[in-house]
Structure formats: structure tokens, C-alpha cells
Amino acid sequence: MRHTKKTAAAAVLSGALLLAGCGQAGPPSASDGKLTDGKVVLGVLNDQSGIYKDLSGPNSVTAVKMAVADYKKKYGDKAVATDVSVITADHQNKPEVANTKAQEMYDRDGADIILDVPTSSAALAVATQAKAKKKLYFNIGAATTELTGAQCNKYTFHYAYDTYMLANGTAKTVTEQGAKNWSIIYPDYAFGQDMKKSFTTAIEAAGGTVGQAIPTPFPNDNFATFLTKAAGSKPDVIGTMAAGGDLINFVKQYNEAGLRARGIDLAVGLMFITDIHSLGVEQFAGTTFTEPWYWNFDDTNRAFAARFEKKTHTEPSFAHAANYSAAMQYLEAVQRAGTDDSDKVVGALEGHKVNDVFLRNGEFRASDHQVVHDAYLAKVKDKADVKRDWDYEKITATIPAAEAFRPAKAAAAAGCDLG
């Protein structure tokens, strides 16, 4: 597999970011601390077999194992955590299964932290367990703002993206570009409901209107009736809040219905590069969306992608990169704290600023545990512009970290109280 050749300066930057994680060098500040049970266990809880398998799934476990290896390589015999293991489970996108698996990971398997957890209803269930067990939880895969709102807690951090960030990029941009009249089709569970709310707020703030907001079952493979209903009001754009396998089915049926030829554009609330690869770039060409991270953005990302591809034979999605980063940043916090004691690790994380392979201008915001970072506006390339496999996106703008996420005061107004 070929990647752009790095300059010497870029190679130094890439090595520093990938191995140092947060750009910090030198020995740990508290290397003489002790682990609570002599080991550190990282749990990856996600969809291993369903509609979100490709965008995260087993390959996120691989990414987390890469982070463990890099942590050990960086610190060697100065590592606070020398016995580090990774466990995993499939939550099947069901909140009741996620709840049970989280309990088992924390209680039976001794997990110090749970990572990933796509599907917002499942994510909220795990956050409840993290609070009850007083164990760390970094959510990467789910988007609900409730994790930093009314259901925030001391032990939960929201890592990669949320519905506010997605809407603040895509809905705002598409509306300002002239698509004022929207129909929204959303899956009728926590993620879709939150997406509908966030997109509607952003559309209206940009001078647009949402004529219809149409709920669908989750998961779902037949969107024909919902597309017909959405098109009936002749909107400028249909916004789909489906994700993963559901998004692939949705876009395929949108194109089969010939809606773009009828002047009805498509906006995608949440998209992963694995979605584009699965269905084909021509099916998504020209679609604007918000991207938390892209493998071909710069030399640092390409260096990580090359390592990841050797292990998985696929390019990383933003979820894969974020799981790597989250695992590394947790271990770095253990290193700074000198222990895996949850309260002390939280203290080492709150307010911490970081630049690594995923987090650019990142900060673990102390007030609501939102992990803020730069985000990007992206557009799917036309097929003729794709020069190599997986190079499907054009980054059109960077949204600075300070603007990308919901302001801390808004999270407080939404009910976040970490006390």
C-alpha cells in the first residue's frame, strides 16, 4: 500500500504524536504510584456483528491494542501500567445488552475503563453503569448530547463527536448555501431524536425551516415509504440521520427514487468512510457532511493509517482513530496520576490539553467532560477525482475546536452537573 512520502519534519511530528500521544516527553510525573489491583484492563464494548460493525467493531479493538503497544514502547520500564490487557464484547446495539455487558466488564472482568459504545441508547446505559461503579468510560461511537447534558457524570467523557458538532457543521453550511427548506428522516431512538433536535436548531438559526421530521424504525432496511413522504412537500434537501448499514440502504433507495434529478438534494447527518467504500463513491458524490477525522488529511494521519492498514487491510474510520487516541490518552492519564484509581485519573484528565493523531487542539473540558477538538467540513469526491482506493473525501474547511462543539454554558443549561 502506498502513502505520500513524509518530509523529515513531518516524520518527526508523526512519530512524536503517535508515540507521545499528547506531545509530552520525558519521564512520568508520578511513576512511583501503584495500580489498584496490579493491572489495567481496557474494555471495548461495541457492535461486533451488526450495522455498525464496519465503522468501528472488531477493528476498534485492534486500534486499542495498537495504543497499548505504543504506550509500552514509549515508557518501557518506567510505565506505571506494565500489565495492560484489552477485553471486548458485542452489545448488539441493544441498551439492555450494553447495560449487562458493562456490568460484567466492570465487576467480573475488572475493567478500569470502557471504550467506544456506538448507539446512543446503549451509550447512556453504559454511562449509568460507569457512574454507579465509579469507573471510567470514554464514549467514542455514540452522538447524543445527553452524555454531556442531563445524563453527564464524573466518570464519563464524550470523546469524538456529538449531534451538536454534526449539525453545527452540516446543517448550518447546507442551509447557508441555499437549501432553506428541509425534510428530515431520522431513526426513532435516542441518537435519531437528538440528531433531529440538533439539526432543526441549526437549520432554523441559519434561516431555514424543517417542513417534515419523519421517524423510522431502527434498524431498518426499507425507506421507500418515508422517502416518498419526505419528497411530497418538495423540499430543497432531505436530511438523513441514519448511520452505518441503515445509511447505506437509505442512500441506495434515495438514488433509485431519482430524487436528486428532481432537484431534491441529500444531506447526511453522520457518515463514515466505510459507508462510502461499501456503497461506492458515485452513490454519495457531492454530499456535504461533517468529519471528525480523515485518514488522508495530513502526514500524521497517513502514518497512522499505514500502520492500521497493515493489521486490518482497510483504512481507518474516524471511530478507529478515536479509539486509538482514547486508549492512549487514558493510559497517559494513568501515567500522570501514577495510579489507575478512577478519581485520580479523572483529575489528571480534567482540563488536560492535547494534540495527538486524532485530537487536534484537543481539551478534556472539565465542566462537562466534552473532549473538544478541531472538526472538518467534507465533501464526497466525484468518481473521476478519486485517484486511489479509499481517497473519497475532500476537506473543504476546518472548524476550530472552540467553535465545533456546544459551549460549556449550554451544557450546564442542559442539566450537566458533575458533582
In three-state secondary structure terms, 303 is helix
C-alpha cell at 247: 445509511
Give the Cα separation of 86 and 92 in Å (integer). Answer: 19
User: Average pLDDT in the 190-217 region?
Assistant: 96
Instruction: Give the residue carrying C-alpha cell 458533582.
Output: 419
Do 360 and 283 share a structural domain? no
Give the Cα separation of 37 and 49 in Å (integer). Answer: 32
* Residues above pLDDT 90, as percent of the chain: 90
Specify the pTM.
0.90
Do 189 and 133 share a structural domain? no
307: amino acid identity, one letter? R
pLDDT tens profile 87-144: 999 999 999 999 999 999 999 999 999 999 999 999 999 999 999 999 999 999 999 9
Domain residues for the domain of 251 are: 164-292+376-401
* For residue 9, pLDDT beyond 50: no
C-alpha cell at 106: 466492570
Selection from 395, 141, 398 nearest residue 288 by Cα: 395
Give the Cα separation of 148 and 391 in Å (integer). Answer: 33
* Residues above pLDDT 70, as percent of the chain: 92
Selection from 177, 178, 372, 195 nearest residue 292 by Cα: 372
User: Average pLDDT in the 375-394 region?
Assistant: 96
Do 156 and 168 share a structural domain? no
Do 100 and 33 share a structural domain? yes
Domain of 285: which CATH number?
3.40.50.2300
pLDDT at 34: 81
Q: Residue 129 contacts by C-beta under 8 Å, 6 or more apart in sequence?
A: 99, 102, 103, 106, 135, 137
Contact in structure between 267 and 170 (CB atoms under 8 Å)? yes
* For residue 353, pLDDT beyond 60: yes
Q: Is residue 364 part of a domain?
A: yes
pLDDT tens profile 393-418: 999 999 999 999 999 999 999 999 99
Give the Cα separation of 99 and 68 in Å (integer). Answer: 25
Omega cis (within 30) before 28: no
Angle at 135 between CA 131 and CA 139, to 5 degrees: 80
* For residue 14, pLDDT beyond 50: no
Q: Is residue 25 part of a domain?
A: yes
Bridge partners (DSSP) of residue 364 are 371
pLDDT tens profile 239-291: 999 999 999 999 999 999 999 999 999 999 999 999 999 999 999 999 989 99
Do 279 and 307 share a structural domain? no
Do 140 and 27 share a structural domain? yes
Do 141 and 153 share a structural domain? yes
pLDDT at 310: 98
Do 177 and 216 share a structural domain? yes
Q: Is residue 207 part of a domain?
A: yes
Q: Is residue 407 part of a domain?
A: no
User: Average pLDDT in the 379-401 region?
Assistant: 95
CA distances to 124, 179, 214, 273, 316 from 193, in Å: 14, 22, 10, 23, 28
Counting the structural domains of the chain, the total is 2
pLDDT tens profile 285-334: 999 899 999 999 999 999 999 999 999 999 999 999 999 999 999 999 99
User: Average pLDDT in the 196-223 region?
Assistant: 97
Do 225 and 280 share a structural domain? yes
Strand order in the sheet with 288-291: 288-291, 375-380, 393-399
Q: Is residue 119 part of a domain?
A: yes
pLDDT at 419: 82
Do 313 and 218 share a structural domain? no
Contact in structure between 157 and 349 (CB atoms under 8 Å)? yes
Do 243 and 177 share a structural domain? yes
pLDDT at 11: 43
Give the Cα separation of 410 and 186 in Å (integer). Answer: 24
C-alpha cell at 58: 472488531
Name the packing angle between helices 318-337 and 57-75 (round to 10°).
40
Q: Is residue 413 part of a domain?
A: no
Q: Is residue 212 part of a domain?
A: yes
Selection from 61, 68, 19 nearest residue 39 by Cα: 68
pLDDT tens profile 15-55: 445 444 444 434 334 444 589 889 999 999 999 999 999 99
Q: Is residue 415 part of a domain?
A: no
Contact in structure between 392 and 380 (CB atoms under 8 Å)? yes
Do 173 and 155 share a structural domain? no
CA distances to 62, 72, 136 from 316, in Å: 11, 22, 25
